[in-house]
Structure 1
Amino acid sequence: MNKQSDTIANNLASTVTRKVSVAIIGAGTAGQNAFRQASKVKDDIVIINEGFWTTTCVTVGCMPSKLLIAAADRAHAANHSAEFGIHATAQIDGKQVMQRVRDERSHFASYIKKQVESWPEDKKIAGRAHINQQGLIEVNDELIEAEKIIVATGSSAFIPDGWADKLGDTMLTSDMVFELKDLPKSMAVVGAGAIGLELAQAFSRLGVEVTLFNRVKRVAGLKDDDINNQAIDCLNRELTMHLGSEITDVSTRANEDENGSTAVIDYKNSAGESQRWQGEYVLVATGRRNNIKQLGVENLGVELDDKNRPKNLSKKTGQIGDLNIYIVGDANANIPLLHVASDEGFSAGSMVCENKKDAYIRPPAIPFSIVFCSPQIVNVGMSLPEIQQDSKLEYVIGKVSFDNQGRSRVMGVNCGLLHIYGCKKTDRILGASIVGPDAEYIGHILATAITNDLSIKAMLDTPFYHPTILEGLRTALRDVQYKMEIPYQSQDAQEDSF
């Protein structure tokens, strides 16, 4: 080592306040799993976190949104039971609705907080971390040198440029909406992805005048045109949607009583005509972006693409190439779902352990997504465009409509369509797309079948109880089987078990 190198090394040594084997940045689902797993072997470990020490799911995502949906479903059932001979009008207490959302959210969060509180205080640092040019972690007054770093900094709601300033207090995101003390009178929801659809329908069912905007004529990111069209048809029955619209500007105007402001959206509808919406709030649901841009991971040799996604990412472990850095959960922008973040955190926490005997690396999850609107929307496995792009795949599409499916009609939820993509060569399920009642359960069964390599025959050999909505799955599977056997004389199957 030359004299200059000695000087640099000595300077670094004199400024480092802590040396650890593993540093975890972020204490959400992925970070907590990584910390627990790595702590089984490593003692010199630290976890750094800015903001709440719970998870996105519990605090601003899965759980509060489902609490709101649960209230909305109760109201909808009360208000829409006339066909059963039951006539009622729900009296909705908006303040109580929103208070229950927060109370139950706190209940779920308390279990996570209790766990975090059990961790040694000297291993927890509350503050914003930054990786400097020397690859050291700067946080508060500390400078930490870590042999391995796990980045689990999560994601934040994306807001188009300038919207926050133009809309001011009339703008909401999914990170803010559950703090409302009461239900508003009106709301625009921008974005028809999972977050936008769920919240738009929930607020609408709770009596809020909701208008949903989306720049393309698609909902929930559906890639199967028939499923997308069916989903739009089902949702249009109770939700005002402007699909294929272009928002040209957002602004506010002062209310006549000088109490607050009214939100304004100027847009062009799908026919290109200029229109204006005005209301109380604009809920921006244009997706989420990973919180990694300002962290300084490039100082560790990590390259990001134009969307701030890490290059050379192992989807199995979260490791970046052969670097001693792992990026997991929403931070890597791979599959931003809780069960994926949990698995990735577990895997990364295992990989940094020297005791590889106990390091169980879980296989990558198959694509699996659920939108908890009504009817529910589910995608499992390969999408139809992915299958069509592979010229080597011979496939058929097994179909069932839920419009006349026995149990669905009995329950008054008979709107939906299921497509199962079957491989003719292997007799296996490649993927599926669903909009329909109980789609979350049908999706889980199909995900299990794909994960465990079950054949169509094996699926059909299992019992389907009558009368259940799941019989629709059997009908679609039978259609797959039929079309595989008689490829040029196939027809769409209908549920025949009444």
Structure 2
Amino acid sequence: MNKPSNTDSAEQKITRTVSVAVIGAGTAGQNAFRQASKTRDDIVIINEGFWTTTCIQVGCMPSKLLIAAADRAHEANHSADFGVHATTQIDGKRVMERVREERSHFASYIKKQVESWPEDKKIDGRAYINQQGLIEVNNELIDAKKIIVATGSSTFIPDGWADKLGATLLTSDTVFELNDLPKSLAVVGAGAIGLELAQAFTRLGVEVTLFNRVKRVAGLKDDDINNKAIDCLSHELTMHLGSDIKDVGTRHTDTQDHPEQTAFINYEDSAGEARQWQGEYVLVATGRRNTIKQLGIENLGVELDDKNRPKNLSIKTGQIGDLNVYIVGDANAHIPLLHVASDEGYSAGNMICGNEKDAYIRPPALPFSIVFCSPQIVNVGMSLPEIQQDPELEYVIGRVSFDNQGRSRVMGVNCGLLHIYGCKKTDRILGASMIGPDAEYIGHILATAITNDLNIKDMLDTPFYHPTILEGLRTALRDVQHKMEIPYQYHDTQEDSF
């Protein structure tokens, strides 16, 4: 690698020279290391902390394990309308114990894979790139021809909150270590993590209050879908949307001669009234941020913007301009999702092979996100604001409500709305946004259609079995076609209810 010159620094002794150094052993880093190892023997992977992944350790898997327990409890407690009456007893310690047990089970597969890698290619420690562009880690100084940065992200905590809240502060990195369910909990942030955990803890009997600075949930950009999401979720969630948190802290109280520490949040509600929340814990779910700035990445010639995102990033490979530097996964802050990190790591690992022409590069991932609250929230492809900002796009919105959709009503999950954004010039789907039952499956179908360039007629020629929730997708597609003024034999914009 071309190292920046620095005549003021003392000459340092290089302890190892390698073709490739991968920094970070999460989803992106592990994929990059595996692929690069197929063509390069002189390679190292450097990692600080756990050698599994964010998804397995503190993200996707433990949160879904908690949601699974919560859904069991919710169904048992809300079956009276079906003539089924039950009383549940929730064992909070067992709930949290199972989350960790199953998490360990999933992590064991990753650990076995990592253990199979040669020991001399794994370095456990914090890497720093010095002014000569060399990697300092432990007592080593490594000269790498190419560097793949996959250092992931860490939870974001507002300034001063950690000191003010102390032991009452939780994040998605620590919440799964609780030995028991708390009695009360404030969740700050109504993004994917905040929504999922707030609802899960609510369904498990915790008194939860959800705060968000804006009157939006899950980052939804379609106003109608956002409003419907708030309507559906507010049936069981206590939400203070549009609230402005002024201060946080703790106070000591004596309860039956036992001193306790209570957290508090001082805030203004959406009407501007000063209010206070008090409870056991504050779960901060205000997002995650990459940590590459502290890596010394600028010493490789990488420029960052004001949000620490690398400039000149290739979304296909993660390469930074013409530098021999690749930044992949959450580290590049492009689309912080596991499947994107996996593809970016795979592509970067392939790029370092000698014959770059034949390297297999996975195409950029289609924007596709799922929030596993109930009802689920899905966004696929272009968002409505993105479409509206492009004067060349002539679009229509196909719509279906799930409030009276047949199978949804049968199942008692009939709250939801789907918008499909169709392009009138091409008869193709530009994107979609949805809250509703089975949204994860509808989202996958729409993502497949966009990826494979299927037109609306192609979609409607596909069988839709009756009675299924997926019939709602057909109704929305028919509405798209009707608004495009394309004749169709079975045109019907009504909901598939019966």
The two structures have a TM-score, normalised by structure 1, of 0.96
1:1-20: CA deviations, max 9, x gaps?
Answer: xxxx99999x74x6000000
Given the alignment of the two structures, is residue 449 of structure 1 paired with residue 449 of structure 2, yes or no? yes
1:47-69: CA deviations, max 9, x gaps?
Answer: 00000000000000000000000
Write out aligned runs for 1:137-286 (5 A): 137-257=135-255, 258-286=258-286
Question: How many angstroms apart in 2 are the aligned matches of 1:134 and 1:294?
Answer: 16
Question: How many angstroms apart in 2 are the aligned matches of 1:468 and 1:354?
Answer: 51
Structure 1 counterpart of 2:282, one-letter code: V
Match of 2:347 in 1: 347
- Compute the displacement of 1:244 (Å): 0.2
Match of 1:435 in 2: 435
- Compute the displacement of 1:355 (Å): 3.2
Given the alignment of the two structures, is residue 31 of structure 1 paired with residue 29 of structure 2, yes or no? yes
1:466 and 1:497 in contact (8 A); partners too: no
Distance 1:20 1:472, change over 3 A: same
- Compute the displacement of 1:493 (Å): 3.0
Structure 2 counterpart of 1:287, one-letter code: G
Given the alignment of the two structures, is residue 413 of structure 1 paired with residue 413 of structure 2, yes or no? yes
Structure 2 counterpart of 1:448, one-letter code: T
2:475 and 2:492 in contact (8 A); partners too: no
User: Which one of 115, 118, 125 corresponds to residue 117 of structure 1?
Assistant: 115
* Number of positions where the alignment pairs a residue of Structure 1 with one of Structure 2: 489
Question: Which secondary structure does the structure 2 equivalent of 1:315 belong to?
Answer: coil
Structure 2 counterpart of 1:64, one-letter code: P
1:400 and 1:492 in contact (8 A); partners too: no
2:472 and 2:496 in contact (8 A); partners too: no
- Compute the displacement of 1:359 (Å): 1.8
Structure 1 counterpart of 2:150, one-letter code: A
Question: How many angstroms apart in 1 are the aligned matches of 2:192 and 2:460?
Answer: 31
Question: How many angstroms apart in 1 are the aligned matches of 2:169 and 2:293?
Answer: 24
Match of 1:466 in 2: 466
Question: How many angstroms apart in 2 are the aligned matches of 1:467 and 1:432?
Answer: 23
- Compute the displacement of 1:79 (Å): 0.2
1:184-207: CA deviations, max 9, x gaps?
Answer: 000000000000000000000000
1:377-420: CA deviations, max 9, x gaps?
Answer: 00000000110111111110000000000000000000000000
Match of 1:385 in 2: 385
Write out aligned runs for 1:332-371 (5 A): 332-356=332-356, 359-371=359-371
Question: Which secondary structure does the structure 2 equivalent of 1:434 belong to?
Answer: strand
Question: How many angstroms apart in 2 are the aligned matches of 1:283 and 1:399?
Answer: 35
Question: Which secondary structure does the structure 2 equivalent of 1:145 belong to?
Answer: strand
Question: How many angstroms apart in 1 are the aligned matches of 2:200 and 2:73?
Answer: 10
Structure 2 counterpart of 1:87, one-letter code: H
Match of 1:105 in 2: 103
List structure 1 runs of 4+ shifted beyond 4 angstroms: 5-9
Given the alignment of the two structures, is residue 68 of structure 1 paired with residue 71 of structure 2, yes or no? no
- Compute the displacement of 1:495 (Å): 1.4
2:185 and 2:283 in contact (8 A); partners too: yes
2:478 and 2:492 in contact (8 A); partners too: no
1:210-257: CA deviations, max 9, x gaps?
Answer: 000000000000000000000000000000000000000001000214
Question: How many angstroms apart in 1 are the aligned matches of 2:492 and 2:462?
Answer: 22
2:471 and 2:496 in contact (8 A); partners too: no
Write out aligned runs for 1:300-319 (5 A): 300-319=300-319
1:401 and 1:494 in contact (8 A); partners too: no
Question: How many angstroms apart in 2 are the aligned matches of 1:340 and 1:480?
Answer: 29
Question: How many angstroms apart in 2 are the aligned matches of 1:401 and 1:36?
Answer: 45
Structure 1 residues 255-264 or 369-378, which shifts more?
Answer: 255-264
Question: How many angstroms apart in 2 are the aligned matches of 1:316 and 1:263?
Answer: 45
For the aligned residues, what is the CA RMSD? Answer: 1.6
Question: How many angstroms apart in 1 are the aligned matches of 2:260 and 2:102?
Answer: 30
- Compute the displacement of 1:353 (Å): 1.1
- Compute the displacement of 1:494 (Å): 2.7
- Compute the displacement of 1:358 (Å): 5.1
1:377 and 1:439 in contact (8 A); partners too: yes
Question: Which secondary structure does the structure 1 equivalent of 2:392 belong to?
Answer: coil
Structure 2 counterpart of 1:218, one-letter code: R
Question: How many angstroms apart in 2 are the aligned matches of 1:65 and 1:16?
Answer: 43
1:89-147: CA deviations, max 9, x gaps?
Answer: 21100000000000000000000000000000000000000000000000000000000
- Compute the displacement of 1:459 (Å): 0.2
Structure 2 counterpart of 1:251, one-letter code: G
Question: How many angstroms apart in 1 are the aligned matches of 2:398 and 2:371?
Answer: 22
2:250 and 2:264 in contact (8 A); partners too: yes
2:6 and 2:132 in contact (8 A); partners too: no
Question: Which secondary structure does the structure 1 equivalent of 2:254 belong to?
Answer: coil
Structure 2 counterpart of 1:446, one-letter code: L
Give unpaired runs (5+ residues) of structure 2.
none
Distance 1:172 1:486, change over 3 A: same
Question: Which secondary structure does the structure 2 equivalent of 1:485 belong to?
Answer: coil
Question: How many angstroms apart in 2 are the aligned matches of 1:6 and 1:90?
Answer: 67
1:71-95: CA deviations, max 9, x gaps?
Answer: 0000000000000000112110000
1:270-293: CA deviations, max 9, x gaps?
Answer: 000000000000000000000212
Match of 1:482 in 2: 482
Question: Which secondary structure does the structure 1 equivalent of 2:181 belong to?
Answer: coil
Write out aligned runs for 1:124-135 (5 A): 124-135=122-133
2:247 and 2:266 in contact (8 A); partners too: yes
Question: How many angstroms apart in 2 are the aligned matches of 1:459 and 1:219?
Answer: 30
Question: How many angstroms apart in 2 are the aligned matches of 1:470 and 1:299?
Answer: 52
- Compute the displacement of 1:260 (Å): 3.4
Question: How many angstroms apart in 2 are the aligned matches of 1:127 and 1:411?
Answer: 51
Match of 1:327 in 2: 327
Structure 2 counterpart of 1:443, one-letter code: G
Match of 1:48 in 2: 46
2:407 and 2:497 in contact (8 A); partners too: no
Question: How many angstroms apart in 1 are the aligned matches of 2:262 and 2:107?
Answer: 34
The two structures have a TM-score, normalised by structure 2, of 0.96
Question: Which secondary structure does the structure 2 equivalent of 1:431 belong to?
Answer: strand
1:399 and 1:492 in contact (8 A); partners too: no
2:6 and 2:131 in contact (8 A); partners too: no
Question: How many angstroms apart in 2 are the aligned matches of 1:280 and 1:137?
Answer: 43
Question: Which secondary structure does the structure 1 equivalent of 2:421 belong to?
Answer: strand
2:404 and 2:497 in contact (8 A); partners too: no
Distance 1:6 1:313, change over 3 A: closer
Give unpaired runs (5+ residues) of structure 1.
none
Match of 1:396 in 2: 396
Question: Which secondary structure does the structure 2 equivalent of 1:259 belong to?
Answer: strand
Question: How many angstroms apart in 1 are the aligned matches of 2:156 and 2:277?
Answer: 22
